[in-house]
Amino acid sequence: MAVSGLKKAAMLLMSVDPVTASELLRGLGPDVVTNIAMEIANLDASGYSPANEGPTIVKEFYQSLRTKDSPSGNFEMKSFLSTMLESTVGAKKSQEIQGQINDVMRKRDQFLKIRNADPKKIAAALDGEHPLAIAVVLSELPAKKASQILLMLSEDIRLQVVTRIAGSEMMSRDTKMRIAQGVWGRIQSLNESSEVMPISSSDMYRKIAMMLQGLPRDLREGMLNSIKQSDEAIATAVRKLMITWEDIPTILDRPLQQALRGIDSQQLAKALTKSDERVVTKIRTNISERARTLLDEEIALLSAPKKDEIDKARGELVTVLQEMNEKGELAFIED
């Protein structure tokens, strides 16, 4: 795609130090300076980096115009813009231009407001939106914040959103702005009414666990290790919640049969007490006829077990399943 002259000028100015940029701008009218300054602000907001994202023409200018005194570290747009404008048009006019830039940027890019919002508020505002609309919003956010919000979405929506992010780039800017306006309006409503519903830690950990469960083993373990570095307790909780008693009906028969081989029939009888019928059926159909006979005998002899006995018995099988899952030996029924 051809780069406009205005954008090339902005890219070039971002590639040199403020003093050099001011010299290049000297003699230009205030309107031209304002337009270039706005383009610099637009490039910065879009994530453009003069160090590694410029086209060949900008790199050539960068090498030829950059002096030994020019900065080699991170590019600070606000400081650069302020210094450049003050040196070019004076302090008073600089403030006017920067004010105009702020106004135009706010009007042109509704996503700037969303980028600064709390991730929980953004997730709440996106609840009920079409996956494509959610994908549009997430694609405009910094990667870290987008990942945080993705984890807060329901499992069935999450995959749909991820698969639509690439397609969201084809959407017109006007359509994106309308989506952003609607989402920002809901965020403001949430701020006013404080209606963001709290979510329990266990529910959040379970959501994270379910998202990780669908990833390839190496990627899943890498993400769990990253969580562990920040908070080992959370990583442990998430790992345990990746496989629960209620997940048994979703496990493929062969790995479940392998896990059941080492479970004592008496413990299995306790574990099945007051269990969901789907779990009972899944387990009974994955043990041998002889094992079912032994299980029925144990159930007939079993007096009412206490809750902690039931939990302990279920825990034996769940622990085996969790260990198999960590080794990549568990597989699940696809929806």
Q: DSSP per residue over 51-95, as a string?
A: TTS--HHHHHHHHHH--TTS--S---HHHHHHHHHHHHH-HHHHH
| Range among 18-22, 160-164, 197-201, 253-257 rated most confident | 253-257
Q: Note whether residue 335 is domain-resident.
A: no
* Six-digit token string for 299: 């159930």
CA atoms of 87 and 95, how far apart (whole Å): 12
Of 193, 213, 233, the residue at which a domain comes to its end is: 193
Q: 30-44, 156-170, 222-236: which has the minimum mean pLDDT?
A: 30-44
Q: Phi first, then psi: give them for residue 34, nearest 5 degrees.
A: -60, -45
Residue whose token pair is 């696809």: 334
CA–CA gap between residue 54 and residue 60 (Å, rounded):
10
Domain hosting 71: range is: 5-108
Cβ 264 vs Cβ 317: under 8 Å: no
* Confidence class for position 63, pLDDT limits 50, 70, 90: very low
Alpha-carbon gap, residue 179 to 136, rounded angstroms: 8
Which amino acid is it at 148?
A: Q
- Domains in the chain: how many in total? 4
3-state DSSP assignment of residue 304: coil
pLDDT band at 50 (very low <50, low <70, confident <90, very high): low
Mean pLDDT value across residues 20-44: 67
Looking at the structure, tell me whether residues 103 and 118 fall in a common domain: no
Instruction: Please report whether residue 36 resides in a domain.
Output: yes
Residue 262 lies in a domain: yes
Q: Is the pTM of this model over 0.85?
A: no
Least confident of 115-129, 161-175, 248-262, 321-335: 161-175
- Computed over every residue of the chain, the mean pLDDT equals 76
Q: Flag whether pLDDT at 224 surpasses 50.
A: yes
* pLDDT classification of 265: cutoffs 50, 70, 90: very high
